[in-house]
Structure 1
Amino acid sequence: MNEHRVSPYGDTTQATRKRTVWVVIITGLLAAAGLAWSLRIPAGDPWFTPATFILAGVYILGSSIAVRMTGERLPWKVTPKGLRDAVIGGVLLAALFIAGGFMVRFVPFLAGPVHELLNHARVGSLFMVALTTAVNGVAEETYYRGALWRVLPRGRRILVTTIAYTAVTSLAGIPLLALAAAALGAFVGYLRERTRSLVPGIVTHLIWSLTMLFVLPFVV
């Protein structure tokens, strides 16, 4: 599907366009509430895993409805160069924030919230936490660089999706995570714009998030 049209909606009616925007907005609000709820569940609580899967479901379902309303499809086709850039970017971002995590360990008010988040992996099932991390990474990219991306003016897509992603992530109350969301959001937005595909952003997101999950506990 050609993304160089003036309208991001294709040949749809104005009423359909408005409904699509509302679906995207409601999805974002529900996801924000879901994230705030899931990250406030104590480590070891059996509700944590279902809550994170519900969050992913909100993102994916809302995005799917919004995209189908326009009669379009999300762009999955990707080139080898796009994948290469995604892998390099993911590794560099992960390395940057591992270094940041090492410095944060000496600042108690910053390290404390990170430890609370990582306790879900320490106390609960590491496999399930990794699975929900991966699923939510895909779901977030489907929404922010998929459904939300489509309803924004072309020149503001990277900025607005990065701000939205950072704002929602900030609900976790973890400064380091909010900073990471801003950097990650800007880079995957750049990949989305340059490659015209969701796949590179998903690859970068997964490399970054899973590296943080498995490596950060040994650093912070």
Structure 2
Amino acid sequence: MTADLTTFAQRLTAPAPHTTLDDPGALRRRRIVVAVFVVIGAIILGFSLSAEPGAASFVPMTIGLAAAWLIGGFLSGPIRLGRFGWRRPEPAIPFVAQPSSAVGAAALGVGVGLAVGAAFVVGALITREIGPLASLVREVLAFRDEGGVVLITAITLGNGLAEEIFFRGAVYSAVQRHQPLVWSTLLYALVTLASGNVMLGFAAIVLGSVCAVLRRATDGVLAPICTHVIWGAIILFCLPPIFGT
């Protein structure tokens, strides 16, 4: 059991075996596309979350934001799903040869999403007792009722998927040779701060770091997508009762 846990930890904290790298031409294209759509996305995000709750522009702009991340992600070049192996190899088999699959990556992402979501719920119970921080969280949660629960749920989870395709897909690959975990997370946090809400920026740093680790460990976006979507659902349905919104 201890050996299995050790192997799992090593696998999770190391780059995926046979990680794919872009050739120079593809890398140049990816960086240009990323630069353009980072600016577009930051502008849309700034306007959408700086609007007053109830503004007619909120839903169209958040849908437009998801579309921008998706278009930018796929225009930048190939977006890989990734893979992750769960079984510990036999002693005679090199560590990198252990079986891996997209199913393993998805299961990993779901498990991490549940853990991160639970951590945020615990953090919310503490934050609600700190007036200024609680107010910032309530500002974000005020948008939960825009257009109905079904629509806002679809928008929230859809944006989570789109963000992962762009930031852990396109952006991560664009800086893959230069500390991609650090730079993809930093850029994600900076773009999120365009909303003007520091609590969203903090959440972006935590979630972005976790998803970047998953991207590195699986060489793809499937695990980060699963984590982001599960986390988003937990935040959407668990935090409003905590903050009384």
Which consecutive segments of 4 or more residues in structure 1 shift more than 6 A? none
Question: Which structure has the bigger radius of gyration?
Answer: 2
TM-score by length of 2: 0.79
Contact 1:110–1:174 (CA under 8 A) maintained in structure 2: no
Contact 1:24–1:66 (CA under 8 A) maintained in structure 2: yes
Note the C-alpha offset of 1:199: 0.5
Q: Distance in 1 between matches of 2:153 and 2:224?
A: 18
| Residue 212, structure 1, aligned to residue 235, structure 2 | yes
Alpha-carbon distance change, 89 to 17 in structure 1, aligned in 2, over 3 angstroms: closer
Note the C-alpha offset of 1:123: 5.2
Q: Distance in 2 between matches of 1:122 and 1:153?
A: 38
Q: 2:34 aligns with which of 16, 24, 33?
A: 24
Name the structure 1 match of 2:47: 37
Query: Matches of residues 36-115 of structure 1 in structure 2 within 5 Å?
Result: 36-67=46-77, 73-78=78-83, 79=101, 80-115=103-138
Note the C-alpha offset of 1:17: 4.5
Task: Supply the AA of the counterpart residue of 1:211.
Answer: I
Q: Distance in 2 between matches of 1:11 and 1:19?
A: 9
Q: 2:192 aligns with which of 161, 169, 181?
A: 169
Note the C-alpha offset of 1:83: 2.2
Name the structure 2 match of 1:198: 221
Task: Supply the AA of the counterpart residue of 2:79.
Answer: L
Name the structure 1 match of 2:170: 147
TM-score by length of 1: 0.87
Contact 1:32–1:171 (CA under 8 A) maintained in structure 2: yes
Task: Supply the AA of the counterpart residue of 1:23.
Answer: V
Task: Supply the AA of the counterpart residue of 2:81.
Answer: W
Alignment RMSD: 1.9
Q: Number of matched residues?
A: 209
Name the structure 1 match of 2:201: 178
Q: Mind listing any 5+ residue stretches in structure 1 that lack a counterpart? A: 68-72
Q: Deviations over 1:154-187 (max 9, x none)?
A: 3511111111111111222333322221111111
Q: Distance in 2 between matches of 1:63 and 1:132?
A: 18
